[in-house]
Amino acid sequence: MVTGRNNQTNECLNKMGAVPNKMKIWIPQYTGNFYTWRNEECELYNQEQNPIWLEHKEFKNKVDVVAIDLGKNTINTFYYNLKSDYKTIVTEQIYIVGYPFGFDVNPKNGKYAIWTSGRAASDPDLNLNINGEQLPAFLVDARTRSGQSGSPVIYYSDNGMLRENSGFSIYGRPITKEIGIYSGRINSESDLGYVWKWSLIDGIINQNY
């Protein structure tokens, strides 16, 4: 996404050959009893025209995941867990939370995303063979469309049941767990899409700091 190129073929995604130099980010902030949204533009290159994003040092652009430091003023605006301990299994229902065709629920009051349901279509414990290499990804079977690439993939349980490495836990309240990052369909004729494993984010940050 930040390069404007297909990470597998290096093909430019823009038909005119344009590549991005900025990215617009909507940042949620909780104020009182409501979320508010702040819009910021993030430069993708520094003054020396070097990319500001961080890649995985082993996989580099073979995985469609990067990390960008948004600055100290945004650290406490939302919560995320780099070390998600949820154990996903094949056929399990999961959700892709994003913006199909750029559509959001209530553009007047913020950038509220749409939850698209799907099921894990390959064993998440295994790596995926992509262009002859074993990479940390699995497949999801879901009706996704343009605009959802980069969306977080979430497990949700309304009764609070959670499968962890040590067994099941019941929290007695609705619970969500981060699983991965969606990265588009394997081809335009299929509903199968790539999910990069959540552990990649932790790996990228720990390798670079």
Question: What are all long-range contacts of 189-192, with beta carbons under 8 Å and residues at least 24 apart?
Answer: 191/141, 191/142, 191/143, 191/144, 192/121, 192/139, 192/140, 192/141
Determine the pLDDT at residue 109: 66
**What would the pLDDT profile of 93-130 be if each residue is shown by its tens digit?**
999 999 999 888 876 667 788 999 999 999 999 999 99
The number of domains in the chain is 1
Whether the pTM exceeds 0.75: the reply is yes
Average of per-residue pLDDT values in the chain: 84
For the residues 29-46, what does the mean pLDDT come to? Answer: 80
Q: What is the CATH number of the domain that holds 75?
A: 2.40.10.10
For the residues 139-150, what does the mean pLDDT come to? Answer: 92
Question: Cβ-count burial of 96 within 10 angstroms (0-12 exposed, 13-18 middle, 19+ buried)?
Answer: buried
What is the residue range of 161's domain? Answer: 22-208
- In a domain? residue 8: no
